[in-house]
Amino acid sequence: MLDLPNSSSQENSIDKNADKTSKSDHLRDDENSCALLVLDPPPEQWTNTNWYLKEIAGVPFLLRNILTIQRAGVKKLIIFLNDNSDENSLTQALKDPRVNLEVELTSDSTNFFDTLENHEKCLFLNGSVLYQVTQFTDIFHSTPSAQIANEETFSLNIEKLKKAIKSNQLRISEIEKVIMQDKSDPGNRSRFYISGNQDSKVEKVRDFLSQSEKLFQTCGLSNDSFMDRLITRRVSRYLTRIFVQTSMTPNQITGLSLALGLLAAYLFYLGNYTASLIGAVIFLLSAWIDCTDGEVARLKFQESKFGSNLDIFSDNIVHFAVFYSIGMGLYFSTGNSIYKILGILAVLGSAVSFTLMYSKVVKEKSQASERKGSVINSGGLDLTAQMANRDFIYLVFILAVAGQLWFFISITAVGANIFALILVYNKFIKPKFDQAESI
């Protein structure tokens, strides 16, 4: 039995909120539940270690499935190999700080059936499939008597499966035939096989690249702005492809973005055209890198509350510094003190808005991360989305090229304070009016 350790590092910890369960999650809440992951032999000239530890978007294939199964709420995982030649190397490789569920590796096929017999609630999984947490939703968020409306999920007939296992030595392709032909017990809510669709299977070397690309294309947030979807995410994904292959943590990437943002602010502060233009370019780069920290965190299962808060604070520190520096740079270059005032007003309005919206921004960002890959449209004036919007970076660049940054700081000073006044009204004044009208 191999108990893999928890991470002691905030940077590498899994967001515990993602693992919270509801009372109806009958599989999650049962300590006697487990998952079985069967690894078929890899293609010729590949060992189990080389194949199943080959990376997909910066995380070894097998480890990615383990972390996904963990995030779905499973407490115990048993991995079955067709031979034990790679058992020791796989065991060592899976001592990853992100893993905190109980993991056992075995090559004894009799343990497979014993596990099905001894665990009343169990998932049977194909080691050649790259699973997503959403594939477990129907099972974990339903009552025991409900039927599964999922073409990839099958109830298990243990007696028939036992015969298949004994005669076929845990070959997935043969076991699947038995499972998919038998649908006599669709109401069984305790033992399941999740097959995965053909597009999610990793059976050829090129599948590692195609699965990586799919993950890169869906690592954005559901509340991304128009320019984020049109330009920013397209650029950041190229950078993310680089960062996931390095040892840099998401928090270190946030630090890099912060440093570049402050460098951009310093260049704006100098006030001359060349420095401001270079500052605008670096500001763009800072924003693009700022997208990658979250992308890398989601792809490598390194989300944390600390990292999320660090990202939010870093973003706003950069914005405050840029607003103030643009105002001061214009003041130095023109001698007109109005720009100094506008810079201070832009920071003041933004700081008030950030203070009033902080808790909601954190909540919305967490929810958007869970809905990654899908776009939401709440309609109306979404103040939270406006607070997190970074589309203005492109306006800064255009106006820096044109030498017209005075226009940006003017509209920002006015707009930030109008936005802050709306927030103050909604939070402090409107409730009093509503209370008075209800009396």
Nearest to 66 by CA among 112, 33, 42, 97: 97
Q: Lowest-pLDDT range, 106-115, 314-323, 414-423, 428-437? A: 106-115
Residue-by-residue DSSP string for 32-101: TEEEEEE-PPPSTT--HHHHHTSEETTEEHHHHHHHHHHHTT--EEEEE-S-STTHHHHHHHT--TT--S
Most confident range, picked from 5-14, 74-83, 195-204, 344-353: 344-353
Sign (positive or negative) of CA dihedral 129, 213, 291, 423:
negative
Predicted local confidence at residue 170, as pLDDT: 67
* pLDDT tens digit sequence for 228-258: 888 998 999 999 999 999 999 999 999 999 9
Q: Write phi, then psi, for 33 (nearest 5 degrees).
A: -90, 155
Q: pLDDT category, 211, cuts 50, 70, 90?
A: very high
* pLDDT tens digit sequence for 102-121: 998 988 777 777 777 777 77
Distance, in Å, from the CA atom of 315 to the CA atom of 319, rounded to the nearest integer, reads: 6
The residue with greater pLDDT, 13 or 273, is 273
> How many H helices and E strands in the chain?
19, 9
Q: Indicate whether 316 pLDDT > 70.
A: yes
Q: Lowest-pLDDT range, 83-87, 176-180, 295-299, 378-382? A: 378-382
DSSP category for residue 199: G
Residue type, 333: S
Contact 105, 66 (CB under 8 A): no
Average pLDDT, the chain: 82
The residue with greater pLDDT, 124 or 210, is 210
Q: Lowest-pLDDT range, 73-77, 111-115, 304-308, 393-397? A: 111-115
Q: Indicate whether 24 pLDDT > 70.
A: no
Distance, in Å, from the CA atom of 261 to the CA atom of 265, rounded to the nearest integer, reads: 6
Predicted local confidence at residue 244, as pLDDT: 95
Tokens in use for 394?
Answer: 């492109």
Predicted local confidence at residue 338, as pLDDT: 98
Residue type, 346: A
Q: pLDDT category, 140, cuts 50, 70, 90?
A: low
Report percent pLDDT > 90 for the chain. 51
Predicted local confidence at residue 31, as pLDDT: 59
**77-82 mean pLDDT:** 88
Predicted local confidence at residue 121, as pLDDT: 77
Length of the chain: 439
Predicted local confidence at residue 10, as pLDDT: 37
Q: Sketch out the chain's domains with CATH numbers.
A: 2-211 (3.90.550), 218-438 (1.20.120.1760)
Predicted local confidence at residue 267, as pLDDT: 98
Most confident range, picked from 32-46, 173-187, 315-329: 315-329
Burial class (CB in 10 A: 0-12, 13-18, 19+), 298: buried
Predicted local confidence at residue 1, as pLDDT: 37
* pLDDT tens digit sequence for 249-303: 999 999 999 999 999 999 999 999 999 999 999 999 999 999 999 999 999 999 9
The residue with greater pLDDT, 137 or 57, is 57
Distance, in Å, from the CA atom of 354 to the CA atom of 109, rounded to the nearest integer, reads: 57
Q: How far is CA 106 from CA 39, 51, 79, 304, 308, in A?
A: 11, 17, 6, 32, 38
